[in-house]
Structure 1
Amino acid sequence: MESVIKINPGASKGEIRQKVWDYIEEKNLANFPRPVHNRIPNFKGAFGACTKVTELQVFTETSEVKVDPDKPLEGARLAVLQAQKTLLVPTPRLRSGLFNKITPPQGASKEQLRTCASSQGVRDFSVPVDLDAKVKVDLVVVGSVAVSEKGCRIGKGEGFADLEWAMMSSMGAVNKSTVVVTIIHDCQVVDVPDELMGSHDLTVDYILTPSRVIKTNCQLPKPQGIIWTKLDSEKLKKIPILKKLRALEEQAGKDVTLGATPPAAEPGLQNDDPKRQPRRRPRRNTQQDAEGETSQESRQERGSESGQRARQQPARVRKESRGSGKGDADKEAGKTVKGRSRRMVKEQGSEEVGGEEVSQRKLPQSVTTVYLGGIPTGLRVSELKAALRERNAAPLRLTWQGAQHRAFLDYSDPQGADQALEALQGLCLNGQNLQAELAKSQRGQKKSGQRQTLSKASKSKMSPLKGGSTKETEQ
């Protein structure tokens, strides 16, 4: 069957991803979260496509199934639980281990099974699986951005599905005969050239779409363990379980030499192309520090130059002008802000993250704020931002108040805030459950989504704290 998305000869993985994401958005083929750029698309008809997994002969013969945590695969996770098979789900970004075993309550209803199949299920009904556990995975279900009928798969570019497979292979949980299934929209079946596949890339045996079941008969071999030269020390810092696995393999006499750390871009297994920002949401360009990962190098640079910043242009002014397209106007605004106190800037709507203030002049006039409480001691703002992205709940602005164990998330409208609240239910970081609810100042205006103006009385209760953070008596 001919693909509806034409891939140009010599196209890179990044170019193929962009074409697929653009097509899905232009044709309105996706459900929430939108836009689909930089995500595994939650395509329309995903649940029906997921039910086809039960039609595979290999599914009836399996007892343990690993399904990725992506939203479009929720139906596959439910199918595994309804068939009373063992469901394994990778931990988000592999930060706290390899995967969790979902254990529904005894005699669980269909509604309870649906909850177990959702992101909340990993928190409420899961048990972590250690590397020492004797696990045998019979079937692996992964999300994809694009797949060829020959089984060549392209993910969203972060390499976690490939790394998860490599780790499972190293611990003996999978082998070259383990079946891999991906579930995608029909338009995501494209002509991916074989030469784009590297030794670390995971291929697939079956493709399930709303209209088809495709057996790929893929001739390319699956990765047989971790290729350590594809990783570096920065990757090991972000994924602690890799350190343990590396130590085990080193004891077994294997070569565990790491690759060199790239000088700039964050390392990843599929970091073949820089990510492009979605054209539909240019405002993200003004939120690179609020929503993007902060590199170790940039943190060190901020620390070493802190003594010079009083004599230089403030960070907030530089961030105002970054990506704004209004050079002179922003410089004028920066001069005006420079002479004001932190308290005045805060009251006018600035963001504070790690002691830096980021002007929010480009935020919509009407926003809806979500309160996030119970933030554990020692959690970094970058870790919270990563967790928000994983749950597709990244805000327009994040106000970090880690010392008070809370943060405030601003969304463009009440609908976005409601979706974020739903996604954040059951969020657990560093072993502590976080509380997500509509901010007090918003609860009386949920329908309009308007931000309440602080009264004189409430303003008088705000006092600057050391490091530029602001303490508020309300949430």
Structure 2
Amino acid sequence: MEPASRLGAGVSKQEIREKIWDYMEAQNIADFPRPVHHRIPNFKGSSHAAERLLHLQEFKISRTIKVNPDAPQKNARFLALEGRKTLLVPTPRLRSGLFNKIVPPPGATKEILRKCATSQGVKNYSVPIGLDSRVLVDLIVVGSVAVSEKGWRIGKGEGYADMEYAMMVSMGAVRKETPVVTIVHDCQVTDIPEELLGDHDLTVDYILTPTRVIVTECTRPKPQGIIWSMISDEMMERIPILKNLHFREKQAGKDITLQKEHLKHLKTIPIQAPLQNTDQIASSRPVDMDHAAPLDKECVTSKKESSSVTTVYVGNIPKDARVSDLKRTLREHNAVPLRLNWQGAQGRAFLDYKDQSAAESVISSLRGLSFNGNTLWVNLAKKQK
């Protein structure tokens, strides 16, 4: 597998993902469900890779293990159950809580345990675990799209593994020394530039592949808890457990400023130094959504049209993101602007739409969106508030 370092300067997380997904499909390494794009990819040999857990001392002495629900970790779930360990699996997309505990029927055979370890088994043989359960997780097994030998990890881009870990920290379910293991194909082990990582990104301590066990000796700190300034109102509604954790951390006197309040605070701060006002933004070179080049004359709005143009501010863009990443995301969400002013170095962009109604519709569709691992801050640009 070609290292990310050879993909060119300024490689993004998404480019690394796409490279690995494409390679696994082209080389027929991928396994059901296919295609593996936009997934934690399953691969041929995943069961053998998972068996290396049996040789880890941390697995042998663990009593409670949290394993993600993706296909390549199915055998890891089975091995935990066969070893009579307490198996926790995150609830799908965190809709109804954080964990489900798998409870096999009394006297379950190996065949039944294997069924319990499947996605259907998780539904049929599990019970929810509440925040007051005082559970303590001894070992965490996560999926990855890419991982480096230094322990730096890239997921599929939705941020759920990072969020799950942050929640476990908040509820006291993990300690800083709790080991994190990922199970991947050898081709998924690649160079990842450290500048792509944020404070919210989860790192791993062990990498298990069909051919080896990699001890990363990673010294980069794991997430210290939920970064509330990255959490939107929409995320709070979509993931109800966040409300409970938010209340608990407020009671504990922690900083629980949400994205909305954080953005209100930013309104009192110059957008950049020196301040760039809306007139300056309007005079910036517009960016074509397909080619990141100046727009053709026919695409540039007339003076009359520009008088009603409404600008949307998009912030918290990851350092590794490229304008092409944002353009693709905007197309996928039917949010293509008249103009795009890209300021990636400052982690932001400004999008022009024909009127306020169109702009507010875009804000509604983009707010709370996970973009290359970060939750976007989306609002009307300052002058229009």
Matches within 5 A, 1:284-363: none
2:127 equivalent in structure 1 = 127
Matches within 5 A, 1:234-253: 234-253=234-253
1:408 equivalent in structure 2 = none
2:283 equivalent in structure 1 = none
2:46 equivalent in structure 1 = 46
Distance in 1 between residues matched to 2:26 and 2:326, nearest whole Å: 19
1:57 equivalent in structure 2 = 57
1:31 counterpart letter in structure 2: D
**How far 1:195 sits from its partner (Å)?**
1.6
2:158 counterpart letter in structure 1: E
Matches within 5 A, 1:161-310: 161-260=161-260, 274=325
SS at match of 1:127: strand
CA distance 1:207–1:101, change in 2 (3 Å): same
Q: Tell whether the 8 Å contact from 1:181 to 1:207 is kept in structure 2 after alignment.
A: yes
| Structure 2: runs of 5 or more not aligned | 264-311, 335-356, 362-385
**How far 1:231 sits from its partner (Å)?**
1.4
**How far 1:267 sits from its partner (Å)?**
9.4
SS at match of 1:115: helix
Distance in 2 between residues matched to 1:79 and 1:21, nearest whole Å: 27
Distance in 1 between residues matched to 2:239 and 2:68, nearest whole Å: 17
SS at match of 1:132: helix
1:219 counterpart letter in structure 2: T
**How far 1:8 sits from its partner (Å)?**
2.7
2:197 counterpart letter in structure 1: M
Q: Tell whether the 8 Å contact from 1:235 to 1:268 is kept in structure 2 after alignment.
A: no
2:137 equivalent in structure 1 = 137
1:25 equivalent in structure 2 = 25
1:85 equivalent in structure 2 = 85
2:369 equivalent in structure 1 = none
Deviating runs (4+, > 6 A) in structure 1?
264-271, 285-288
2:36 equivalent in structure 1 = 36
1:227 counterpart letter in structure 2: I
2:227 counterpart letter in structure 1: I
Number of residue-to-residue matches in the alignment: 285
1:182 counterpart letter in structure 2: T
CA distance 1:207–1:265, change in 2 (3 Å): farther
SS at match of 1:89: strand
Distance in 1 between residues matched to 2:100 and 2:216, nearest whole Å: 29
2:16 equivalent in structure 1 = 16
SS at match of 1:162: helix
**How far 1:133 sits from its partner (Å)?**
1.1
1:152 equivalent in structure 2 = 152
1:15-55: CA deviation from partner (whole Å, max 9, x where unpaired): 11111111111111111111111100001111111111111
SS at match of 2:21: helix
CA distance 1:271–1:119, change in 2 (3 Å): farther
SS at match of 1:112: helix
Distance in 1 between residues matched to 2:259 and 2:70, nearest whole Å: 29
**How far 1:258 sits from its partner (Å)?**
1.1
CA distance 1:133–1:6, change in 2 (3 Å): same
**How far 1:9 sits from its partner (Å)?**
3.0
1:71 equivalent in structure 2 = 71
2:108 equivalent in structure 1 = 108
State the TM-score, normalized to the length of structure 1: 0.56
**How far 1:199 sits from its partner (Å)?**
0.4
Distance in 2 between residues matched to 1:80 and 1:269, nearest whole Å: 36
**How far 1:87 sits from its partner (Å)?**
0.2
CA distance 1:269–1:117, change in 2 (3 Å): farther
CA distance 1:152–1:41, change in 2 (3 Å): same
2:12 counterpart letter in structure 1: S
Distance in 2 between residues matched to 1:183 and 1:276, nearest whole Å: 32
Distance in 2 between residues matched to 1:106 and 1:187, nearest whole Å: 40
1:341 equivalent in structure 2 = none
1:57 counterpart letter in structure 2: Q
CA distance 1:4–1:286, change in 2 (3 Å): closer
Identity of aligned residues (%): 58
Q: Tell whether the 8 Å contact from 1:147 to 1:188 is kept in structure 2 after alignment.
A: yes
SS at match of 2:38: coil
Distance in 1 between residues matched to 2:92 and 2:37, nearest whole Å: 19
Distance in 1 between residues matched to 2:35 and 2:326, nearest whole Å: 14
**How far 1:286 sits from its partner (Å)?**
10
1:304-336: CA deviation from partner (whole Å, max 9, x where unpaired): 99xxxxxxxxxxxxxxxxxxxxxxxxxxxxxxx
Distance in 1 between residues matched to 2:199 and 2:86, nearest whole Å: 30
Q: Tell whether the 8 Å contact from 1:234 to 1:267 is kept in structure 2 after alignment.
A: no
Distance in 1 between residues matched to 2:320 and 2:97, nearest whole Å: 22
1:262-311: CA deviation from partner (whole Å, max 9, x where unpaired): 9698999999574898xxxxxxx9999xxxxxxxxxxxx89x99xxxxxx
CA distance 1:249–1:257, change in 2 (3 Å): same
Distance in 2 between residues matched to 1:287 and 1:236, nearest whole Å: 21
Q: Tell whether the 8 Å contact from 1:158 to 1:271 is kept in structure 2 after alignment.
A: no
| Structure 1: runs of 5 or more not aligned | 278-284, 289-300, 306-475
1:156-188: CA deviation from partner (whole Å, max 9, x where unpaired): 000000000000000000011000000000000
Distance in 2 between residues matched to 1:286 and 1:131, nearest whole Å: 36
Deviates more, 1:27-36 or 1:5-14: 5-14
Distance in 1 between residues matched to 2:197 and 2:332, nearest whole Å: 34
CA distance 1:16–1:286, change in 2 (3 Å): closer
1:321 equivalent in structure 2 = none
Query: Aligned Cα RMSD in Å?
Result: 3.0
CA distance 1:40–1:194, change in 2 (3 Å): same
Distance in 2 between residues matched to 1:239 and 1:215, nearest whole Å: 34
1:166 counterpart letter in structure 2: A
2:107 counterpart letter in structure 1: G
SS at match of 2:108: coil
1:209-262: CA deviation from partner (whole Å, max 9, x where unpaired): 000100000010001111111211111111111011101111111111012499
